[in-house]
Amino acid sequence: MRGNSGIITARSAVNMPVTYIHDLPEWPAFSWDEKAVSARLASVRHRQGRLIGRMEALGFALRSEAVLQTLTQDVVQSSDIEGEVLDVEQVRSSIARRLGMDIAGLIPADRDVEGVVEMMLDATQRFEQPLTRERLFDWHASLFPTGRSGMGRISVAAWRDDAHGRMQVVSGAYGREKVHYQAPKADCLEKEMADFFDWFESGPKMDLVLKAAVAHLWFVTIHPFDDGNGRIARAIADLMLARSEGSAQRFYSMSAQIRIERKSYYDILESTQKGVLDITPWLAWFLDCLDRAFDHAEETLSKVLTKAQFWERHVGEGFNERQRDMLMRLMDGFSGKLTSGKWAKIEKCSPDTALRDINDLVQRGILFKEPGGGRSTSYALSDQGDK
Domain ranges of the chain: 8-305, 320-386
Residue with more model confidence, 316 or 356: 356
CA dihedral (278, 284, 285, 288) in degrees, to 10, reads 170
β-partners of residue 111 are: none
Q: Tell me the percentage of the chain whose pLDDT exceeds 70.
A: 93
The stretch 330-335 carries a mean pLDDT of 80
Q: What is the pLDDT of residue 12?
A: 42
* CATH number belonging to domain 320-386: 1.10.10.10
Q: In sequence order, what E strands does 147-197 have? A: 148-149, 152-153, 166-171, 178-182
Answer for the pair 171, 235: CB distance below 8 angstroms, yes or no: no
**pTM recorded for the entire structure:** 0.82
Using DSSP, state whether 152 is helix, strand or coil. Answer: strand
Q: Which of 54-58, 194-198, 304-308, 343-347 has the lowest mean pLDDT?
A: 304-308
pLDDT of 80 above 70: yes
Q: Which of 21-35, 244-258, 321-335 has the lowest mean pLDDT?
A: 321-335
pLDDT of 387 above 80: no
Alpha carbon distances (Å) from 330 to 285, 303, 334, 365? 34, 11, 5, 15
Using DSSP, state whether 168 is helix, strand or coil. Answer: strand
Q: What is the pLDDT of residue 373?
A: 61
**Phi/psi at 124 (nearest 5 deg)?**
-90, -30
Give the whole-angstrom CA distance, residue 194 versus residue 203: 12
Q: What is the pLDDT of residue 340?
A: 92
Q: What is the pLDDT of residue 1?
A: 29
pLDDT of 10 above 70: no
β-partners of residue 168 are: 10, 182
pLDDT of 275 above 50: yes
The residue among 297, 375, 372, 370 whose CA lies nearest residue 334 is 370
Q: Which ranges in 223-334 belong to alpha helices (H)?
A: 229-245, 254-260, 262-273, 280-313, 321-333
Q: Which of 37-41, 100-104, 248-252 has the lowest mean pLDDT?
A: 100-104
Using DSSP, state whether 279 is helix, strand or coil. Answer: coil
E strand or H helix at 10: strand 8-12
The letter for the amino acid at 92 is R
| Residue partners of 213: CB distance under 8 A and separation at least 6 | 237, 282, 283, 286, 287
The residue among 194, 242, 220, 278 whose CA lies nearest residue 71 is 242
Answer for the pair 331, 307: CB distance below 8 angstroms, yes or no: yes
Mean of all residue pLDDT scores within the chain? 90
The stretch 158-174 carries a mean pLDDT of 89
pLDDT of 241 above 80: yes
pLDDT tens for each residue of 114-145: 999 999 999 999 999 999 999 999 999 999 99
Greatest Cα pair distance, the chain, in angstroms, is 73
How many helices (H) does the chain have, and how many strands (E)?
15, 7
DSSP result, 72-129: HHHHHHHHHHTT----HHHHHHHHHHHTT---S------HHHHHHHHHHHHHHHTTTS
Give the whole-angstrom CA distance, residue 14 versus residue 373: 60
The stretch 320-342 carries a mean pLDDT of 88
The stretch 367-374 carries a mean pLDDT of 81
Q: How confident is the model at residue 17 (pLDDT cuts 50, 70, 90)?
A: low
DSSP-derived secondary structure letter, 63: H
Q: Which CATH number fits domain 8-305: 3.20.20.80, 1.10.1370.40, 3.30.70.330, 1.10.3290.10?
A: 1.10.3290.10
- Cα 358 to the chain's mean position, in Å? 34
| Residue partners of 327: CB distance under 8 A and separation at least 6 | 310, 319, 361, 366, 381, 385
pLDDT of 209 above 60: yes
| Residue partners of 100: CB distance under 8 A and separation at least 6 | none
Alpha carbon distances (Å) from 236 to 96, 130, 141, 200? 22, 11, 16, 10
Q: What is the pLDDT of residue 311?
A: 81
Q: What is the pLDDT of residue 13?
A: 39
The stretch 254-268 carries a mean pLDDT of 96
Q: How confident is the model at residue 305 (pLDDT cuts 50, 70, 90)?
A: confident
Residue with more model confidence, 303 or 91: 91
Q: What is the pLDDT of residue 331?
A: 85
Q: Do domains 8-305 and 320-386 have the same CATH topology?
A: no
The letter for the amino acid at 215 is A
Q: What is the pLDDT of residue 375?
A: 63
